[in-house]
Structures are given as C-alpha cells and as structure tokens.
C-alpha cells in the first residue's frame, strides 16, 4: 500500500455536460483542477433533448448508461450543468434592513409572489452584490425545480451521484479568469456558440449581470429564406449580440458603461468563421481562450472543464 494515498481525496468527481446534441465529461487530476485527466463525449440523435427539455427519456437513459460503462463512472460523484434554457439570472433589490443570514429564507418566501418568476417552484442560489444601511441587493440564479430534478433523477437512475449543479456562463467565465484574461474593471460579453444554441451573458466585476439563450434552429429557419450566397447564416445572431451590448450600456448602466471586451467559446463547427465575423463587426476586442490554457484539452470539452474549476468543498462532502 502506498501511504501517500491516505492524503489524497477518497472520491473523485466527474464533470458532466448534457446538451441537446451531445453528452460530455471531464475529470481533472485530484488537487489540480487545471490538469485535465480524462474526457469523453457521446453525440445525441436529434429529438432526444430539445432546448434543454428531455423528450425521449428512455433512450437518453440507455445512452447515458453506455457512457457510464464506457467511461467507468459508476457510482461516481457528479457535478452537472443546469441547461441554459431553464436558468434565470437577475439582480434583485431586497429590503435594506434584511440581515445576511435572513436572505435565503426571505427569497424562499417571496420568489414567485413579490419577486415574479416565469415558472413555479424554483430552485435558486444567490450572491450578495450590495449590503449597506441604505440598500441590499443580490444576484439571483433560479431554475424550475422539476426541470433540475429531472436531470438529477436521470443521473441517479444510471448509478451516478449528483452532488452539485452549476450554470454554464459561470463555468465558461472561470476558464478565462484562470487564464488571466480578465481584470476587475472589464465589462465582458461572453458568447457560447454551440452546435444547437447560442448563450450570451454579460459580466461586470466577475459577476454575470444578465443572460440570453438563443435556440440556433430558429435563426437558421429565418435565414433559409435568404440568399445564402449573400448573407452570413448568423447575421441575425450578430444583430442580437449588438442589441445586447446596447442593452447593457443604456438599460443597465444608463449610458455610463459599455462592453469593453468580448469572449467567444463553444463547439460550433464554424467557430473560426464566427470569430472572424465578430472581429470585423464589433468595435471592441474579440478574444478566444488563450492558447496556453486552451491546449490542455480540445475546445469541445472546455465547458465541462470550467465546471471542474467550480470552487467549494463539494469534493469533501
């Protein structure tokens, strides 16, 4: 027996990303999340998941069982990402006299009533943005409980042990942060351009301010009607990004701040074309993950890797 194994974590954690078109996993080395140790992917046929919603659960479970067997993940502790279409990110003002240890119970009571949400029975988390005598505000992350539980239950049914859930913009942003590509005074537009969808979020002082999820097929259908020889198939997506940059500047910051940099990542096969088009179109720098950081594992696995960089002590529970 090697005595040094006594000082290593007893339980490894795998990081799982399930999207409409693919299942991916990444495992980092114990105590060294910047070293990617193992990874794998399995593409999903169309119609099993659509816009985050599980349509054919039976087939998805069979495929996931194959993945668990192939990647040797049985009984493994799992972090997973809540699908983007389910997630709401919103700044919420709270009563100024509310104590910090009262915030969670206050949100539990008020979400869906005095704090409206587009769904019932939310699961939620929050970050305190401001706590002074004059004002209290939090950044709220919320999703419908039944949708999150459907994924957690699926993982349990294939003999995995879900221990933590996260949202994709935070996972993606962590990579750029760890690559030392962001500074506190940056105003970042983060674009995750995937094969089936585009997720756009804005970050101020390392915190997400808003998020918008776009289902790619809706934009592809619009562009089918146009002359493909003349029009970039993502023209309407680019316009939407420009609108979001204006929204950030004028609606959120009353014209006093604007997006200073754009980060691009994702698994779309035409990502290099999209990168070039955004560079030409936008008047702020467009960047991808630095080569030194990106070389650790293929770009397809970057989001799952960002999940593996999640802070906290969930390894030790």
Closest CA to 40 of 13, 73, 62: 73
Domain assignment present for residue 261? The answer is yes
- Indicate which CATH number applies to the domain containing 90: 3.30.1490.300
Question: Is 189 in the same domain as 281?
Answer: yes
Residue 219: pLDDT band with limits 50, 70, 90? low
- In this structure, the strands spanning 32-43 and 207-215 are unpaired
Domain assignment present for residue 39? The answer is no
CA 30 → CA 81, 270, 316, distances in Å? 20, 34, 12
Give every CB contact of residue 249 below 8 A, 6+ residues apart in sequence: 255, 257, 258, 259
- In this structure, the strands spanning 261-265 and 187-193 are parallel
Question: Is 139 in the same domain as 187?
Answer: no
The pLDDT tens digits for 12-63 are: 899 999 999 999 999 998 788 888 989 999 999 999 999 999 999 999 999 9
Question: Is 127 in the same domain as 188?
Answer: no
Residue numbers of the domain that contains 204? 182-288
Answer for the pair 269, 275: CB distance below 8 angstroms, yes or no: no
Question: Is 127 in the same domain as 193?
Answer: no
Q: Does residue 4 surpass a pLDDT of 50?
A: no
Residue 11: pLDDT band with limits 50, 70, 90? low
Residue 232: pLDDT band with limits 50, 70, 90? confident
The pLDDT tens digits for 234-247 are: 999 999 999 999 99
Alpha carbon 90 to its chain centroid, in Å, reads: 15
Which whole number is the average pLDDT over 185-203?
Answer: 95
What pLDDT, on a 0 to 100 scale, did the predictor assign at position 252? Answer: 86
| 86-95, 180-189, 222-231, 290-299: the lowest-pLDDT one | 222-231
Domain assignment present for residue 97? The answer is yes
The pLDDT tens digits for 154-165 are: 999 999 999 999
Question: Is 200 in the same domain as 128?
Answer: no
Answer for the pair 33, 10: CB distance below 8 angstroms, yes or no: no
Question: Is 192 in the same domain as 137?
Answer: no
Domain assignment present for residue 186? The answer is yes
Please give the residue that has the higher pLDDT: either 278 or 31.
278
Q: Does residue 182 surpass a pLDDT of 70?
A: yes
Residue 128: pLDDT band with limits 50, 70, 90? very high
Question: Is 120 in the same domain as 187?
Answer: no
Task: Give the total number of structural domains in the chain.
Answer: 2
Which whole number is the average pLDDT over 151-178?
Answer: 96
The pLDDT tens digits for 54-104 are: 999 999 999 999 999 999 999 999 999 999 999 999 999 999 999 999 999
Question: Is 226 in the same domain as 131?
Answer: no
pTM: 0.89
Domain assignment present for residue 64? The answer is no
Domain assignment present for residue 139? The answer is yes
């Amino acid at each position: 027996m090697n005595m040094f194994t006594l000082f290593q974590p007893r339980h490894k954690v795998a990081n799982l990303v399930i999207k409409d078109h693919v299942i991916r996993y990444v495992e980092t080395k114990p105590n060294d999340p910047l070293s990617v140790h193992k990874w794998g992917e399995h593409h999903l046929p169309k119609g099993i998941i659509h816009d985050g919603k599980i349509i054919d659960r039976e087939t998805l479970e069979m495929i996931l069982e194959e993945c668990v067997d192939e990647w040797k993940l049985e009984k493994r502790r799992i972090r997973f990402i809540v699908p983007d279409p389910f997630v709401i990110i919103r700044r919420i003002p709270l009563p100024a006299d509310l104590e910090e240890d009262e915030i969670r119970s206050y949100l539990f009571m008020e979400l869906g009533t005095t704090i409206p949400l587009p769904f019932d029975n939310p699961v939620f988390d929050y970050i305190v943005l401001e706590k002074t005598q004059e004002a209290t505000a939090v950044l709220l992350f919320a999703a419908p409980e039944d949708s999150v539980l459907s994924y957690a239950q699926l993982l349990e049914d294939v003999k995995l042990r879900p221990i933590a859930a996260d949202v994709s913009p935070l996972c993606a942003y962590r990579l750029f942060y760890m690559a030392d590509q962001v500074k506190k005074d940056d105003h970042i537009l983060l674009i995750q351009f995937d094969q089936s969808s585009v997720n756009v979020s804005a970050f101020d002082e390392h915190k997400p301010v808003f998020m918008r999820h776009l289902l790619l097929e809706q934009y592809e259908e619009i562009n089918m009607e146009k002359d493909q020889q003349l029009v970039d198939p993502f023209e309407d997506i680019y316009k939407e990004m420009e609108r979001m940059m204006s929204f950030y500047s004028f609606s959120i910051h009353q014209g006093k701040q604007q997006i200073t940099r754009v980060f691009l990542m994702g698994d779309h096969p035409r990502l290099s074309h999209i990168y070039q088009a955004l560079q030409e179109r936008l008047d702020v720098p467009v960047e991808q993950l630095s080569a030194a950081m990106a070389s650790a594992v293929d770009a397809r696995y970057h989001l799952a890797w960002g999940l593996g960089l999640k802070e906290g002590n969930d390894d030790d529970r």
